[in-house]
Amino acid sequence: MNVLDNLQKIKEIDTGGMLDTEEKFYLQLLDARKIAGEADLEKLKGANYKGIVFSGMGGSGFTGDIIKALIKDDIDIPVEIVKGYNLPYFIKKGWLVVSISYSGNTEETISTTNQALERECEIVGICSGGELEKICISNKKTVIKIPSGMQPRGAIGYLFFPAYLMLNNLGIIDVSDEDVEEALDLIKEKAELYRRETETDRNPAKKLALQISDNLPIVYGQEGILGAVACRLKCEINENAKTPCWCNEFPELNHNETVGWERLKDVTRKFIILILRDEDESRRIKARIDITSGLIKDNVSTIVNIPVEGKSKLAKALSGMYLGDITSVYLALLFEVNPAPVEKIESLKAELKKIK
Ligand code: F6R
């Protein structure tokens, strides 16, 4: 029997309960929506913000990527992403800084939050506690507190919905209830299909993990939400399956990476290309994907097209991400690797703490 259908074996490997977190993602989203609805946004209301900046790293930082991709075509103020220690110079008084750190202790996010305070920006912290919560409370800034005790990347529902729906509740964007319901219904349906009890022959997430196996995955997205989802999948494969993986997006990759497939065939024959597809993608993007696939197919082991499902952008973003997230957990289990721990990140953070 394949390990992915061996429930006892899964239990033995996944001691951190990462698969359980994924299987309960629908419930997490429902709870996250409730937290978003109950958040006290009084201090943030009534301002005409000059722009919004999302500051966060890793699993927390992805929240900004996906929200920016979702709203950029409908918002008339700039939306910036900061993944590092410093806010750009132009972010000043009048901007809304959304500081997102699941632990609340990520030093880059603490640094940008302190800069935002110095520049008298409005701030909202989204965290499960830690230093970020303390800074926000002592400076009378808004905090949206989410449940603790999870891996940050596994808490993406808790990070995403409060940040996204907050913008709706402040009147900055308009999120349709219909889109939220569609996304939730789709996740609920997929949770049933992807759960451990659904055997490999009927389970698309297990099938995809088996297809990847010990090939090196390269994920290609497209400009917009699927670009963000592609990078999320790369990070999930890195962190859950402890496997190298890289991402890029159409059309940009056609201007550099496509040429790079010319050499090192012996190495790249162990690569698998995962291309995220959208039935609404433009004709030119479709043509680019078809032509590129033809150009590189002999240099890699396989090219797998992964269609995202859903009508709205929100449903596509969440369902595309969900398939990737749970696939990366199955990939870890296939290698008999415990998906939850990220020892290298922990030891790096501990080493950095010693340096003043
Ligand atoms: C770990 C993970 C990491 C963290 C990152 C930042 O599960 O996903 O990428 O998200 O190290 O830490 P937080 O999210 O606590 O600010």
CA atoms within 13 A on the CB side of 192: 5
Does 142 contact ligand 1 (Cβ within 6 A)?
A: no
Residues 42 and 142: their CA atoms lie apart, in Å, by: 8
pLDDT at position 356? 81
Burial class (CB within 10 angstroms; exposed 0-12, middle 13-18, buried 19+) of 187:
buried
> Of all atoms in ligand 1, which is nearest to the CA of residue 154?
7
pLDDT at position 1? 78
Does 101 contact ligand 1 (Cβ within 6 A)?
A: yes
pLDDT mean for each 10 residues of the chain (356 residues): 94 98 98 98 96 98 98 97 98 98 98 98 98 98 98 98 98 97 98 98 98 98 98 98 98 98 96 98 98 97 98 98 98 98 95 92
> Of all atoms in ligand 1, which is nearest to the CA of residue 151?
7
Task: Tell me the two tokens of residue 117.
Answer: 């305070």
Ligand 1: centre distance to CA 15 (Å): 19
Residue owning the nearest CA to atom 1 of ligand 1: 152
Ligand 1: centre distance to CA 155 (Å): 10
Is residue 90 within 8 Å of residue 116, measured between CB atoms?
Answer: no
Does 57 contact ligand 1 (Cβ within 6 A)?
A: yes
DSSP secondary structure string for all residues of 104-147: S--HHHHHHHHHHHHTT-EEEEEESSHHHHHHHHHTT-EEEE--
Ligand 1: centre distance to CA 128 (Å): 12
Whether 72 is catalytic is no
> Of all atoms in ligand 1, which is nearest to the CA of residue 153?
8
Is residue 132 within 8 Å of residue 125, measured between CB atoms?
Answer: yes
Is residue 55 within 8 Å of residue 99, measured between CB atoms?
Answer: yes
Q: How far is CA 139 from CA 15, 44, 62, 133, 355, in A?
A: 39, 14, 26, 10, 27
Q: What is the pTM of this model?
A: 0.97
Residue with tokens 């999930």: 236
Catalytic residue among 255, 343, 351, 356: 255
Q: How many CB atoms within 10 Å of residue 268?
A: 19
Sign of CA dihedral 87, 89, 92, 96: negative
Is residue 296 within 8 Å of residue 268, measured between CB atoms?
Answer: no
The pick from 102, 105, 135, 325 for probing ligand 1's pocket by mutation, whose C-beta has the most ligand atoms within 8 angstroms, reads 102
Whether 349 is catalytic is yes
Whether 270 is catalytic is no
> Of all atoms in ligand 1, which is nearest to the CA of residue 106?
16
Does 52 contact ligand 1 (Cβ within 6 A)?
A: no
> Of all atoms in ligand 1, which is nearest to the CA of residue 349?
11
Residues 121 and 91: their CA atoms lie apart, in Å, by: 8
Residue owning the nearest CA to atom 11 of ligand 1: 58
Does 153 contact ligand 1 (Cβ within 6 A)?
A: yes
- Go through the domains of the chain in sequence order and give each one's CATH number: 17-174 (3.40.50.10490), 194-334 (3.40.50.10490)
